Structures are given as structure tokens and as C-alpha cells.
Structure 1
């Protein structure tokens, strides 16, 4: 099998003609993902299901994609990489795989994907600082017995603030608990290593990471996943099926939770992006993003009636996501005006994080704002001119 040679063009964003600043919802596809799909289409076929050339090629590419994701995420030897539809799917899979009686500890500042799936959940108030997050987790975990999972976001989809994952992992492990990280918003902006940050599980979505819709990953420790009932019962998840109902021997490893024909093109396109990012100068990409973030935040402070919201304070570490309240204005109306009159795409609403948005609007003195917040988010392909365009348009609106 040939090894791809990556160039700067691999991370070039496909599409032009408008200013897209809604990356936190869906990041645009990059050239590496599109090229990987186009290269595979002429020979693509069933995965793990045949001996013909199409099936053999597809199976090799699918398993190669799994290896690429394991490397990209810095997994331990023996960790599993299970392909899912998206982060929500991945976290629901993990919730279904928890040992009986597991207590889940979660902050109420999470995206609904990491707030709603968990049985027997202990919900903590969203902290006002990274230190408070660590202290609150420590206090909660010390009183729990049996299997325990602490599940947290890597970076907020509302404020962009980066959570103290390594410190939370240390606290969790000190109390015999495990930690899962919703990396949907962190992975596109910051390199992640499961081994280095001490995470037991990481979940992410392809459509946040410059790949098409429909692909996601749950990566992490194998024991809970191997002991759980299959997430989707069917072909692929079953190793042998007898003549009587219930006479089934289930597969082990990732296949156990990948029932049905897998999303080969999604897996391959996601792996292509991860491979290109792994070879890029991510420090330079991060520095450029921080320059744009400073430009955006400084410009927003000059727009009357605009107030940036934050959990951890003005100087906390962030990725390229900023949300604001708009005094006396409906964020949805403003977002529509930006799109219709200026060709600028942003997001308005509560971003599937209703408890957090309610708190942030209240703290900003806008508790009655039923429309939620206006969110600006960006990444690869965003330029200083894009930020200037938004600021000028927002000022006029």
C-alpha cells in the first residue's frame, strides 16, 4: 500500500465566496479529506466481508484509518479505536458500555452530548475557574465507591475555554475513577495525546475536524468495551450465530460495537485529515489562531452592546470560539442579517448547552434573552480579513 505524501495544500479549505465563522458547528472540508475519498471511490467495496480486490482494498484502508486515529490521539498499546457516527454517538456508546452501578460525574456546563447519555449521573455546577473544576471533582470523587467515570469537555463549545484535562485526570485516577474527554472542540485546534493527558477515553467528530459528516471516534481502554453488550447487534458485531434465539457469540475488539456495514469513506477521510494535521506545524497553526482570536476579541469590545461571555475569566486559555450577548437584540435576528446582508455565517442560540447558556446570559445581565447567544468560531482557512469583515458588519447591524 502506498504512503501518502502530504503538502500544505492538504489542509486548504474547500469552497469560497462567503465568510464562514461557524466552525464549532461544522468545520469546512479540507483538500486531504476530499482527495482521500476520490482516490478510494474507484475501488471501494465491502469492509471485512469479501475476498475480492474491492473488499480487500477497502478492508485495508479501513483498518489503516483506525491505526492513523490511534496514532493521532496518542493511544496506549491495547487501546481500542471504535468508529462511530459522531461525538454524540461515541459518548452514548460509552454510556451503554459502563459496568453496572457505575456513577458518572459531569459538570452542567457540558454540551448535551456529554450531559444527557449517562445513567446514575452526579451533576456538578459549572466551575468559575480551572482550579475550581479540579477542586469540585476532587470533592465529589472522594465520596464515591464502585466504578466511577468523570466525563468532561476538552474545550467548551460555547466559550472556547480549555479545561484542565490533565489535572482532572490525575484527580480521577487518584480516587480510582476513570475520565472521558469530549474532544469535539479541542481536537481541531490542539494536539491530543491520550497517554500524555491521562485520559481513559476520548470522543470526537469528523465534521468538527475538517472531514465530512457521519464519522466519529471513541478511543480508549478496552476492558469495559469488551465486557459490554454490543452497541449495535447485527452483522460484523457477531462472530457466530446459532439456531436458537440468543445463541450468539459476539466479536471482541472494535468490531463488537461496529455492527452493520461501516462508514468506510467517513473513516478514511477523517484519517486523511488527521494524518495531514500530524505532519503540519501545529504550533504555527495554533499561534495564527491565537492572533485571530485576539483580533476578534479586541474588535468585539469596541462594538456597542456586545459582551463576551466566559466561565473562567478573560485571560483563560481558549480555542477559536467566542460567544457574546447583544444588549436589546435577538441573536438570531442579528445572525440572519449577517448572513443575508453580508454573506457571513455565524451561529445564534443555545448551542446544545442550555444550562451553561442560561448561566452565562444571567451573569452578563441578560437573563431574559430567550434567543441565547451569538457565537463566532473559526479555524483552518480563516484570515484576518474575515475577522475584519465580521466586525465591520456587526457594527453596522
Structure 2
């Protein structure tokens, strides 16, 4: 059975000694001690990358480039040339939008869904409503609906929106509000059948997946998924060092325009007054000085995660040893099984609470490790405050998933959310759901003030 000793794992996290019940992991996860110490240990030999002649620069460059290899291997990408590092998922999605901006033709459209985080809707809204119209180009955005009862993406509606003028479909891998995990294989089939004529001669729509809530608890194989772009953030993967990742097919990254210009994205001695030559991949998308130490340490978070959930010492952290596909899949299967069990335990408990409504899929197997809910008579923000008074850190608001909250007719468009990570325990779930029961009982009690 794919299990691990969660108490042993928690020893690596300083937050665990504070007594905090950390159940806002869909926003940001906690850092293990080793990553903080690794960051500090790199400082004495820190230098800029790629163009320095010092031993320190060569050393830092080696670690920096190894980080790209680690990330590519984690996603089963062909190589580092398909990896772009940036600040977060939001910047990664904006990178796609700006790199494709000049390719959109008058009359094209882009299709997204009502399940999306604002970061996978607002850039396309801005492109269609605010940017391209200034250049006399009219591109439409379309939004696919979801079933308000099950939370599942309406694939028939999505298919009806995708046509021969759909350049790109932007879809979440897992909703940060409902927890819904759309059938990405079905979405891929819809994009392949569109018939849109891409600049490279292909007749299909591109597929961008927001993997912010998917990558932390699933083994991702970008080649098996057939995605053109996938974005995620390391701050949801134990590494709060300001690093996001965009995977893009190399053919696309080679032919599209960079998002930012200057610095390392320029080829060595590649500038004349008449012509500028861009650097090879992946550095074509690395303008200026990147977050060098953040990238190095964040990539090591993947190696540390494998070590933490392995049944026996694995020894990947702090090395450049290749992470085999089977090793990655076994590790993420353990993470998925653990967080799925926590989610199921929470769902069973909260469904026994009078007046509490859970949004999204019924089964923990069909959702990311989070539950969003409302309690009759309570604003979500007040509910989160009461949970915090009982030592439980939740999250209240629209979770940047405003379209989905509005689609459910929530007024205000807000909910309260508990979300779980690899270091959470059954005790965390019981404390959180017990606090909810206590709050609900107080509301119903005649003596409640």
C-alpha cells in the first residue's frame, strides 16, 4: 500500500511545533526546514549565471541549469528547452497570452471555463476586450459552463464553443474552489478536432492547462496529456521562493515571441542596430537576471518530496541524480492517496453538520484535496475568523474563482475552504471539522448570543 509515516514527515516542518492547523494549502504550502537551510548554504558561492568567468558563476550556473533538468524530468518533458521559469502560475499564463498575442487573427476566439481561477480568465478577457481592439483586431472569448450540482465541467457545452476559429482552449487541471478535476483527455480530444489552422500548419486548437492545484498532488506527464502549455507554482509545492513554471512544447516556444525582452534572452553578441538575435531555449524566455536561488531550491523541493514520502531512504535531495519516471509516479501516488483520504474524511464529517453546504463533486476521488462550503447564517469571512479563534487556518472569499461563485448564485460570491497537503494528518481534519461542528451548534443553540 502506498503510505508513508506522516508524523516522521512533519518533523521536517517548523510550523508543526507551533500547534497550527494549517488547512489553507491551496493558497500556499509550508516550507520544510531543509529548503530554507539549502537556500542559506548557497549564499557564500552565489553569483550570476551564464556570463560570468568566476568559479562561483560557473558553479551557480551548473546548479541553475540542473534545476531546469529536474523540473523537465518531473513533468516528463523532452528536456529543459520546454521549461520557462517565472514568478508564479499567473505570470506563466500571461507569458502564453503575450507570446501568442500577435498570432491571433481577426475573428478568432479563445475558449476558457467558468471553473477557472481569475488568472486563467482575466488575461484572455484583457486580450480580447482591451489589447487587441486597440490594433483593430477583434477576437472573442467564450466561457464553458459547469454543472452547478456536481461541479463537473460541461464537456458538451465546451465542445459547442470550440470551432474552426478557436486558437486556444484554456482549462484548469483542478478547480481551487470546487475541487473539480476536468477530464483533460476529453478536453484534448475537443481541441484536436477543432480544425483551427495554426501557423505551423497543424489544424487544431492549442491547449493550456492551469496546473496550480493539480501538480502538487498528481504525477504529471505532459507528453501523455498532450498539452501544449502547462503552468504551476512552486509556492503550492513546499517552496515559497517566488518561482512559477510554464511548460511549453519546444516547437511553440521556438516560434512564438518572448514575453519580456533584454538580458539573458538575447544571444551572446546578438545585438546590432539592425537586428537582434534571441538566445536558444530555454533562455529565450529568461529576460534579465532570473530568480536564480529560488529556481535552484524550488527544483530541489521535488527531490525532497520524493525522499519524504519514500518508505526507505531515497537520497535524492541535494543531488543531481536523475529521478526516474517510476520513482516520481510512486511518490506522487503516495501523496495523492494520503491527501485523498484526508479529503474523504473531511467530506464525511462536514456532511453531518446541519446547515452546512459543500460545493463541488461528492467524492474525494473526483476532486483536488480541498472542500469549499457555506454555513447557513454565517458569512464565509466570519466563519473563517471563528475557525481561526479555534486554531484552524482556513480561507474565505472568492478564492480568485469569481466566475464559479457567481455561476452558483452566491451572494456575496464567497465561500469558506479547507485544503490539505502532504503534511496534514487525520487529527488536523478532526480538529477542523470539530471546530465547524462547534460553531454550527452554537448558532443553533437557544443560548447562543
Assess same fold via TM > 0.5: yes
Structure 2 residue corresponding to 1:144, chosen from 160, 164, 167: 164
Match of 2:445 in 1: none
- Retained in 2: the 8 A contact 1:66–1:81? yes
CA distance in structure 1 between the partners assigned to 2:23 and 2:352 by the alignment: 19
Contact 2:152 2:182 in 1 (8 A): no
Which of the numbers 387, 390, 394 marks the counterpart of 2:432?
Answer: 390
Determine which of 361, 375, 383 is the counterpart of 2:417: 375
Residue 197 (structure 1) aligned to one of 225, 240, 245: 225
Which runs of 5 or more structure 2 residues have no equivalent in the other structure? Answer: 1-7, 128-138, 195-203, 311-330, 440-449
The residue number in structure 2 matching 1:133 is 154
Task: Report the structure number with the largest CA radius of gyration.
Answer: 2
2:36 partner SS:
helix
Larger helix fraction of residues: 2
1:345 to 393, 399, 405: 393
Contact 2:72 2:79 in 1 (8 A): no
**Counterparts of 1:7-18 in structure 2 under 5 Å?**
12-16=12-16, 17=18, 18=20
Alpha-carbon distance between aligned partners in 2 of 1:304 and 1:316, rounded to the nearest angstrom: 24
Q: CA deviation digits over 1:57-111, x for unaligned, max 9?
A: 1111111000101010111358510101000000000111112326321112200
Question: Residues 10 and 276 of structure 1 are in contact (CA less than 8 Å); yes or no, is this contact kept in structure 2?
Answer: no
| Structure 2 CA distance for partners of 1:54 and 1:187, relative to 1, 3 Å | same
Please report the RMSD computed on the Cα atoms of aligned residues, expressed in angstroms: 2.3
Match of 1:305 in 2: 355
Aligned to 2:280, which of 247, 252, 275? 252
- Mapping for residues 200-215 of structure 1, pairs under 5 Å: 200-215=228-243
Q: How many angstroms apart in 1 are the aligned matches of 2:189 and 2:81?
A: 19
Which residue of the other structure, out of 388, 401, 405, is the alignment partner of 1:357? 405
In the TM superposition, residue 218 of structure 1 has moved relative to its aligned partner by 0.4
- The CA deviation string for residues 221-280 of structure 1, in whole angstroms up to 9 with x for no partner, is 123323333212221122246564x74222231212211111012111221122233564
**Structure-2 residue corresponding to 1:100:** 104
2:258 aligns with one of 230, 233, 237: 230
Query: What is the match of residue 298 of structure 2?
Result: 270
Q: Distance in 2 between matches of 1:11 and 1:236?
A: 40
Q: Report the number of matched residues.
A: 379
**SS, match of residue 267 in structure 1:** helix
| Structure 1: gaps (5+ residues) | 1-7
Give TM-score, length-normalised by structure 2.
0.79
Task: State the 1:356 CA deviation.
Answer: 0.4
SS in 2 for 1:249: strand
Q: What residue in structure 2 maps to residue 5 of structure 1?
A: none
